Chain A
Amino acid sequence: AQSVTQPDIHITVSEGASLELRCNYSYGATPYLFWYVQSPGQGLQLLLKYFSGDTLVQGIKGFEAEFKRSQSSFNLRKPSVHWSDAAEYFCAVGARGTYKYIFGTGTRLKVLA
């Protein structure tokens, strides 16, 4: 069965610093991979997605993620964090041929001014 692990529950970075949020998945084939962001009191918003092709995908708000099959990872990165990036970030796996999505437990990002 597919699963998603986000090892970091909380991460704190200074504004302007670089960011990497980790995501590891377990799935028997190449999955569909997503990163979502949730601001307080809001629903989840799609940041980016990977289906196939180029393993480095660009998303909104300056985020990017790299799919590494050998490491079963899909880490989210941003070169320079802004205070408005403080939120909770969820990695998700979509099983091909189904409509089931498995979400990680989330990483809460705090940005220091």
Chain B
Amino acid sequence: DAGVIQSPRHEVTEMGQEVTLRCKPISGHDYLFWYRQTMMRGLELLIYFNNNVPIDDSGMPEDRFSAKMPNASFSTLKIQPSEPRDSAVYFCASSLATGGDSPLHFGNGTRLTVT
């Protein structure tokens, strides 16, 4: 089991540019979550998917953020256009399809810096 795989590990971009973060969940996990971690706000849930369908995107900060899950093994989080305040570590996590009692398995994160 390779765990949750995220790419890239680090991304540095200029304000206004489009940023795409990628995630491969653990095979067989039906739930996928995108979190953002900052010093000021801690870990925030942005969006989560069940069986590739977005269930709750209420944590997505603005329309500049979008997420997709075209299949069970791949998800993207896109920011367009990026702003300096988007700088954070973005984590993808996956879990089995059980009722809230299934632990989250996190990737190593993507550290995004927007200058």
Contact = CB atoms under 8 A, between A and B. Distances in A.
Contact of A43 (B4, B56, B99): B4
A43 B108 contact: yes
Contacts, number: 55
B103 A46 contact: yes
B50 interface: yes
A43 B100 contact: no
Q: Which 6 A-B pairs have the closest CB atoms?
A: A43-B106, A103-B43, A44-B106, A46-B103, A94-B100, A105-B42
Contacts of B4: 43
Interface of A: 32, 34, 36, 41-46, 49, 51, 90, 94-101, 103-106
Interface residues of B, number: 23
A34 B43 contact: no
B12 interface: no
Contacts of A98: 100
A44 B91 contact: yes
Contacts of B43: 90, 103
B108 A32 contact: no
Interface in B29-58: 31, 33, 42-43, 45, 48, 50, 55-56
